[in-house]
Amino acid sequence: MVGYIVRRLLLTIPVVIGVSILIFAIIRLIPGDPAVAIAGVHASNEYIEQVRKDLYLDRSLPVQYGIFVRNLFRGELGVSTMSRRPVATELRERFPRTIELTLAAMLIASLVGISAGIISATRRYSLFDNLSMLVALFGVAAPVFWLALMLQLLFAVNLGWLPATGRGTWRHLILPALTLGMATAGLIARITRSSMLEVLRQDFITTARAKGLAEKVVVYKHALKNALIPVVTIMGLQFGILLGGAVLTETVFAWPGVGRLLVDSILARDYPVVQGAVMTLAVSFVLINLVVDLAYAFLDPRISYQSQESE
Amino acid sequence: MRKLWLVAAVMLVLMPLASVFAAGTKEEAPAAPRQELVIAIGAQPEALDPIAMASAPAATVGEHLHQSLIYMAPDGTLEPSLAESWQAASDGLSWTLRLRQGVKFHDGTPFNAQAAKANLDRFLDPESKAPYRFLISEVSAVQVVDEYTIRLVLNRPFAPIISNLSHSFIGMLSPASLQSLAKGEATSNIVGTGPFKLVRWDRGEQIVLERNSEYWGRVPTIETLTFKFVPEDAARMVMLETGEAHAVMRVPPADAERLNANPGIDVVYASSVRVIYAGFNTQVKPFDNPKVRQAMNYAVDKEAIINTILAGVGYPSTAPVVPAVFGHTKVGPYEYNPAKARQLLAEAGYPNGFRAVFHHPTGRYLMDSTIAEAIQSMLREVGVQLELQTMEWSAYLSFLRKPPAEAQHQMYMLGWGTVTLDADYGIFSLLHSSQWPPTGWGVSYYKNDRVDRLLDSGRTTPERSAREGLYAEAIELIWEDAPWLYLHDEGQINAVRSNVEGLIHHPLENILAWDAYIE
């Protein structure tokens, strides 16, 4: 097990290097002179040239990449061109808020999704089943942006139960978490359902029933654990995705997280922030996937990381 | 067991809603007797330190915390602020400013000539990399004459210096608060002389200010002023409707009527210093011919654009700058006359019109892409076929700012806000032939020697009435030459809760709250 973890951690290194090259290249491919973007419309030519020099934009690309990597090794993520604050500070402030939102969304999505999926599977083709799958489809298909505005209109304007935007009390968390969690809830519900159905068809379930075990025990002790494997995969992936991209939700609800910071920085060509944020997200995503993979071993005793041919 | 799961799941979803019911309803009642004002703006200031400020949100918030030497009133007059009076030397090469006495910074240290010099030097220091340094870059030295008098020595006479000094980005901070900073380092600890003090800045979320009870001027009635950053237009309107915000800026024209119909909300229409225009690349055919450019001006119905697309907010341009700008003179508007347009095109050798490409931004200016489409259809009536192209703002800027030989644009849409309310800022930077890229933003590549000379004199002549005459003549020539399709002077649409009085809606696109109160 420890060997497996160590190997996985070592594998993150080439992934991180790959991501760093990718993000470095991509933002520099965006059309437009970043020095002009940063300096703004009213800036003088000298200022634009100054900005260009300060960001090493006048050097060749390999040199720029070299500087970027050197700083990474020193643990320096650089300074934001917009706010002139260290990128690390900006991220340290915004990241926990996005994690908070994402965790809340995942909590809602998992509880609602798994419950609905289990019930749908055990009561296949019932009214509940059809209804919940329809709602799940709606959740996945509805544009996040539209959903956010609708929820805002209903609960903040018309009913006045919840605040429209911002962050502060737990009440501020409800609407954004609901919006963000809807699509994932739908996804989880559908996958839980189909996975459960798959598992419930297996021979060992028939055996358990034949042995006279109560249905509750069959479903929860034997079937569920196995059925959850694909669900856990999805949950892990979704968590990583939500972490990096809750931009629409954050924009509509003015949630001060990393997603908005990223978009604002891209538009302002704030390279240091974009690079720093993406690198942080990439590393988080890799670590989350590692945790997910480790969870498999708990869920499915057939999977063992002692052997050589794992995963 | 299954039923229990179902019940549990349903309860989990309903519980928060139920306790919301029990706990109470909205966050803050709008008509609270407590003087706590909330203003929702669309973006966060990038910084509040003068050497790093570069945007309107920064100016809006910054104005409440720190002050420049001179204050630009909404009607454009320059009023004493931290400087009580100012006088140019007869040769125009220096200006002496008498500073206000008895003013303290929020940390208790006094404002005096040393403090003013420290701030101006820091702003001018190339290592500070202040984006707006060019406003006062003609200042070669700041001298302390006595405790409350400073003298600015200029490289050459520069008449707009006083208007430029009123810019929000040249605010005064307490030198004590700047001591531990490195060169070029911006501070988050904003200690100014303004009517409000900084309490805290929750990045990405809000800035909270409290009133300065030791303010040298009229102490505000508002005790706590919060600026919330809400980028989504619809969300800002929602906040106003629920009362979570007392005032919002940039109301979409389509929402104005609906909000006004709400008895708890007043929509405010204010003027702005921004003009919107479609520029021509005067170095390429067919826009090298002034008759063609004039024809384009006659072919577009600016009133119609304002009334149908902008909900009646704005005015057809009467000059390259808005009326509030010093130096403005009314030479327009170009009336809507398609027949005259066709005639001019025929005289210029294009009786059947021509084709051209019109570049425009999307989402940068109010209804920009819709306006571009309207222009396209109006010009089609006179035989001009425009192809519309749009790009993202930063890419657009780079695309335009090329030397004439590399320019790829023929016709482009831009706005320009004359934030110093001085014609020099509005006209020199765009229409003086020395300001062609790569030096500046003269992307029309316009060159008129007489205009150049007039604009140069306008800079160096200290006497105001003489300057007015120079700009009047320059504007007449520029209007005739029509390097731009002059569209409209933008208006601002803001909205305020009805029980809030005294907010200033400044043409510089700021909302100022120092005279406000909640009824």
For B490-505, the DSSP string reads EEEEEEEETTEE--EE
Q: Which are the contacts of B286, defined by CB distance < 8 A and separation ≥ 6? A: B292, B348, B350, B354, B356
DSSP B110: B
Scan residues 138-197 of A and list those with Cβ closer than 8 Å to B.
149, 152-153, 156-157, 160-167, 170-171, 174
H or E element, residue B269 = strand B265-280
Q: How far is CA B68 from CA A40, B50, B262, B313, in A?
A: 22, 10, 38, 31
A127 touches chain B (CB under 8 A): no
**Predicted local confidence at residue A299, as pLDDT:** 67
DSSP B247: E
- Smallest Cα distance from B65 to chain A, Å: 18
What is the residue-level pLDDT of chain B in tens, covering all 519 positions?
Answer: 556 666 666 666 555 554 444 444 444 555 556 899 999 998 899 899 999 888 889 999 999 999 999 999 988 888 999 999 999 898 889 999 999 999 999 999 999 999 999 999 999 998 888 888 888 989 999 999 999 999 999 998 898 999 999 999 999 999 999 998 988 888 989 999 999 999 999 988 999 999 999 999 999 999 999 999 998 888 999 999 999 999 999 898 889 999 999 999 999 999 899 999 999 999 999 999 999 999 999 999 999 999 999 989 999 999 999 988 889 999 989 999 999 999 999 999 999 999 999 999 998 898 999 999 999 999 999 999 999 999 888 889 889 989 999 999 999 999 999 988 899 998 998 999 998 988 888 999 999 999 999 999 998 888 888 999 999 999 999 999 999 999 999 999 999 999 999 999 999 899 999 999 998
Contact B5 A260 (CB under 8 A): no
Q: Does the global pTM surpass 0.80?
A: yes
Q: Which of B16, B43, B399 sits opposite A174 (nearest CB)?
A: B16
Q: How many angstroms separate the CA atoms of A248 and A180, rounded?
A: 9
Smallest CA–CA distance from B205 into chain A, residue: A256
| Structure tokens that stand for A79 in this block | 């300074």
Q: Which are the contacts of A302, defined by CB distance < 8 A and separation ≥ 6? A: none
Contact A157 B126 (CB under 8 A): no
- The answer to whether B477 touches B450, Cβ cutoff 8 Å, is yes
Q: Say how far residue B115 (Cα) sits from the centre of its chain.
A: 28
Beta bridge partners of B198: B209
Supply angle C-alpha B327, B329, B330, rounded to 5: 155
Q: Which of B47, B205, B234 sits opposite A149 (nearest CB)?
A: B234
Q: Are strands B265-280 and B247-248 parallel, antiparallel or unpaired?
A: unpaired
Q: Are strands B411-417 and B78-80 parallel, antiparallel or unpaired?
A: unpaired
- Smallest Cα distance from A237 to chain B, Å: 24
Instruction: Give the type of residue at A293.
Output: D
B180 touches chain A (CB under 8 A): no
- Smallest Cα distance from B317 to chain A, Å: 21
| Structure tokens that stand for A206 in this block | 């028939």
Instruction: Give the type of residue at B68.
Output: S
Contact B244 A111 (CB under 8 A): no
- The answer to whether B488 touches B305, Cβ cutoff 8 Å, is yes
B1 touches chain A (CB under 8 A): yes
Q: Which are the contacts of B163, defined by CB distance < 8 A and separation ≥ 6? A: B72, B78, B326, B420, B421, B422, B424, B425
Contact B238 A157 (CB under 8 A): yes
Substitution target from A27, A38, A44 for chain B, most B beta carbons within 10 A: A44
- The answer to whether A173 touches A104, Cβ cutoff 8 Å, is yes
Q: Which of B43, B238, B395 sits opposite A31 (nearest CB)?
A: B395
Q: How many angstroms separate the CA atoms of B412 and B280, rounded?
A: 7
- The answer to whether B271 touches B324, Cβ cutoff 8 Å, is yes
- Smallest Cα distance from A38 to chain B, Å: 9
| Stated length of chain A | 311
**Predicted local confidence at residue B87, as pLDDT:** 92
> What phi, psi does B156 have (nearest 5°)?
-150, 165
Reduced to 3 states (helix: H, G, I; strand: E, B; else coil), residue B97 is: strand
User: Which among B158, B193, B199 is positioned nearest to B174, based on CA atoms?
Assistant: B193
Q: How many angstroms separate the CA atoms of B242 and A175, rounded?
A: 15
Reduced to 3 states (helix: H, G, I; strand: E, B; else coil), residue B488 is: strand
User: Which among B274, B302, B271 is positioned nearest to B493, based on CA atoms?
Assistant: B271
- Smallest Cα distance from B112 to chain A, Å: 28
For A137-162, the DSSP string reads HHHHHS-HHHHHHHHIIIIIIIS--S
Contact A39 B234 (CB under 8 A): no
Which residue in this structure is represented by tokens 């980028």? B231
Contact A83 B186 (CB under 8 A): yes
Q: Which parts of chain A sit beneath pLDDT 70?
A: 1, 245, 297-311
**Predicted local confidence at residue B23, as pLDDT:** 42
Q: How many angstroms separate the CA atoms of B490 and B149, rounded?
A: 39
- Smallest Cα distance from A1 to chain B, Å: 35
Task: Spell out the alpha helix ranges (H) of A154-304.
Answer: 170-200, 203-210, 215-216, 224-245, 247-252, 258-267, 271-299
Q: Which are the contacts of A131, defined by CB distance < 8 A and separation ≥ 6? A: none
Q: Which are the contacts of A171, defined by CB distance < 8 A and separation ≥ 6? A: A162, A163, B20
Q: Which residues of B fall within a CB distance of 8 Å from A32?
A: 392, 394-399
Q: Which of B46, B137, B202 sits opposite A82 (nearest CB)?
A: B46
Q: How many angstroms separate the CA atoms of B333 and B314, rounded?
A: 13
Contact A164 B206 (CB under 8 A): no
B181 touches chain A (CB under 8 A): no
Q: How many angstroms separate the CA atoms of B13 and A110, rounded?
A: 12
